Amino acid sequence: MMIVALFNYLLSFLIAHWNTESFAKDDFIYGQFPSYFRWGIGTSSYQIEGAWNLDGKGENVWDNFTHTSPSPIKDSSTGDIACDSYHKYEEDAKLVKSIGVDFYRFSISWSRILPLGTKEKVNQAGIDYYNNLINSLLHHEVSPVISIHHWDLPQPLQDIGGWVNEDLIEHFGDFARILYQNFGDRVKQWFTFNEAWVICVMGYGDGIFAPGIKEISETPYKCIHTILKAHARAYRIYDEEFKSQQKGQVGITIDSGWLEPSDPNNPEDIEASERALQFKFGMFASPIVFGKYPDIVRKRVDERSKQEGRSTSRLPSFDKYWTDYIKGSYDIIGLNHYSSYLVTPASSDPGPGWYGDQDTATSQDPSWPETGSTWLRPVPWGFRKVLNWIKNTYNNPPLIVTENGYSDLPNVVLNDYGRIEYYKGYINNLLKAVIVDGCNVRGYSAWSLMDNFEWASGYTERFGLHNRERIPKESVKFLKNVFRSNGFRRPNLPWDRQSKEQCDIAA
Ligand code: GBH
């Protein structure tokens, strides 16, 4: 036993160093991803489809939100037309193909399939649309990967309370079942929710995203609680009714930046960073992996609720049934990651709610480069750190990076060199995480196929590899090369050591 373990250890050490020699945190390394690794590109229904009221589609919360006046959207725009992908899905499939990816991650507009949100009325034109899209992708040998829900809840379900109403658990389950029934013969990878944190905190707490509710103290926790149950419901339905036939996987996409201690030698900052990660990623990962909210979240919200004179905690609990039902409800976890933040304990308490309960303050280092989004600064090494934190905290679960991307500075059109720099640094750190650190990452999906409706920012922030006219930006060539090489291939002549500049070109 000992000898085998020792041998394995030496072998893994050798493999790691064979590929990488030794390098500093910001160094570029050569190397390829394992042969099972899969590359993709993503979009979401409301952000690209348009056709908001055509062919029987019902209204959803983003239709409703963008149509309120005064407009809550930065440029007063809407997704009424967006990239018109409802009519241009064949062009989309061709673009996806042209990048040379293995998969396309897109989401399903719930109200296009179920105009009222419930299973009583199925819109055949909606089923047809996604069948056509899936078949075009398969024609180009691209696998469809589906997000079941990316924020566009049918308005009739919002009218009964949205994600604070536990009836939505069954409605979501019904919706998921209809998708498995109609598309599951060809779709093998499902993600139930995209970034439920955004729905619940920004939609039901800050109110800057649909449905625009500003109730920070308790409502986001209720929303998270319902969504976790709905996620598990959709997971179990697949597991019990479809998996043995369709042989696919179901997961959930969770978003998190890397939350670095402001002063990495200060124990208070280290603790604050861990708290912030637990309140963000742990809020979703801990229930599905361990069957409960993170201990630190439980403790803090319970204590503060008591201090506020409440008889029950603002953070709900799962009973025995739901604990067992949620625990283990994933085949794979999706991670959306864009940037990093510096964390320190808060200097003042903003009061009850997701922000105040964690006692943290976040900021970004002004020396990190700017992008077209105030919240996004490239910090490539942070990607490797968050991947390692997930590995260590959840026993190295199978992971897919479902989103990672960069928004252009305002003056940039097609010469998006900042994006190339971003992807080079981030994918290189992903490579380190996989081949040096042993993080169990199975695939990576860039965000996004094209510039699209960027939620409350309208069309003012652009994450696309193509613009909205579907013209490729420079970064397409770069990513295509990385995807085709399955990483960063060492230049042909092994004795020809490369300078930094040559690395840039080779990559
Ligand atoms: C993802 O969210 C989404 O899944 C995707 O739809 C979106 O297009 C993409 O990111 C790019 O943004 O304006 O300061 O209030 C990423 C997480 C959460 C990051 C909301 C931006 C707004 C910060 N996003 N956040 S702020």
For residue 150, tell me if it sits in a domain.
Answer: yes
Query: Ligand 1 centroid to 152 CA: how many Å?
Result: 14
pLDDT in tens, 425-447: 999 999 999 999 999 999 999 99
Query: Ligand 1 centroid to 199 CA: how many Å?
Result: 11
pLDDT in tens, 252-286: 999 999 999 999 999 999 999 999 999 999 999 99
501 pLDDT higher than 90: no
Please tell me the predicted confidence (pLDDT) of residue 390. 99
Out of 45, 355, 375, 454, mutate this one to test ligand 1's pocket (max ligand atoms within 8 Å of CB): namely: 375
Residue 260 is part of a domain; what is its CATH number?
3.20.20.80
For residue 307, tell me if it sits in a domain.
Answer: yes
For residue 14, tell me if it sits in a domain.
Answer: no
Query: Ligand 1 centroid to 3 CA: how many Å?
Result: 49
Please tell me the predicted confidence (pLDDT) of residue 22. 75
User: Which amino acid residue places its CA nearest to atom 13 of ligand 1?
Assistant: 375
Rounded Cα distance between 349 and 359, Å, is 7
Rounded Cα distance between 489 and 54, Å, is 47
40 touches 104 (CB < 8 A) = yes
Query: Ligand 1 centroid to 375 CA: how many Å?
Result: 8
For residue 66, tell me if it sits in a domain.
Answer: yes
For residue 506, tell me if it sits in a domain.
Answer: no
Residue 503 — very low, low, confident or very high, per pLDDT cuts 50/70/90?
A: very low
For residue 373, tell me if it sits in a domain.
Answer: yes
Please tell me the predicted confidence (pLDDT) of residue 490. 83
Can you give the residue range of the structural domain that contains 143?
A: 20-488
For residue 499, tell me if it sits in a domain.
Answer: no
**Domains in the chain, number:** 1
How many percent of the chain have pLDDT more than 70? 93
User: Which amino acid residue places its CA nearest to atom 22 of ligand 1?
Assistant: 375
Element holding 5 (H helix, E strand): helix 2-20
pLDDT in tens, 353-367: 999 999 999 999 999
Ligand 1 atom closest to the Cα of residue 375 is 14
pLDDT in tens, 180-218: 999 999 999 999 999 999 999 999 999 999 999 999 999
Please tell me the predicted confidence (pLDDT) of residue 383. 98
Residue whose tokens read 């905290």: 393
What secondary structure does DSSP assign to 67-79, as a single string?
TSSS-SSTTS--S
Q: Find the range with the poorest average confidence among 342-356, 407-421, 481-495.
A: 481-495
Please tell me the predicted confidence (pLDDT) of residue 499. 46
Please tell me the predicted confidence (pLDDT) of residue 257. 98
What secondary structure does DSSP assign to 111-154, as a single string?
HHH-TTSSTT---HHHHHHHHHHHHHHHHTT-EEEEEEESS--B
Query: Ligand 1 centroid to 455 CA: how many Å?
Result: 8
Out of 45, 195, 448, mutate this one to test ligand 1's pocket (max ligand atoms within 8 Å of CB): namely: 195
162 touches 168 (CB < 8 A) = yes
- Nearest CA among 381, 373, 421, 430 for reference residue 403: 430
User: Which amino acid residue places its CA nearest to atom 6 of ligand 1?
Assistant: 44
266 touches 343 (CB < 8 A) = no
Out of 373, 386, 419, 465, mutate this one to test ligand 1's pocket (max ligand atoms within 8 Å of CB): namely: 373
pTM of the predicted protein model: 0.94
Please tell me the predicted confidence (pLDDT) of residue 491. 76
Residue 296 — very low, low, confident or very high, per pLDDT cuts 50/70/90?
A: very high
Which residues' Cβ are closer than 6 Å to ligand 1? Answer: 44, 47, 194-195, 198, 202, 255, 336, 338, 374-375, 403, 447, 454, 463
Rounded Cα distance between 383 and 379, Å, is 7
Measure CA 45 to chain center.
Answer: 14
Cα torsion at 502, 504, 506, 507 (round to 10°)? 160
For residue 494, tell me if it sits in a domain.
Answer: no
13 pLDDT higher than 80: no
Query: Ligand 1 centroid to 506 CA: how many Å?
Result: 31
Query: Ligand 1 centroid to 323 CA: how many Å?
Result: 30
Ligand 1 atom closest to the Cα of residue 447 is 9
Catalytic residue annotation: 195, 403
CA distances to 241, 244, 360, 372 from 237, rounded to whole Å, are: 6, 12, 38, 41
Q: What is the mean pLDDT of the chain?
A: 95
Q: What is the mean pLDDT of residues 314-342?
A: 98
Ligand 1 atom closest to the Cα of residue 454 is 8
Ligand 1 atom closest to the Cα of residue 405 is 11
pLDDT in tens, 67-117: 999 999 999 999 999 999 999 999 999 999 999 999 999 999 999 999 999
How many percent of the chain have pLDDT more than 90? 91
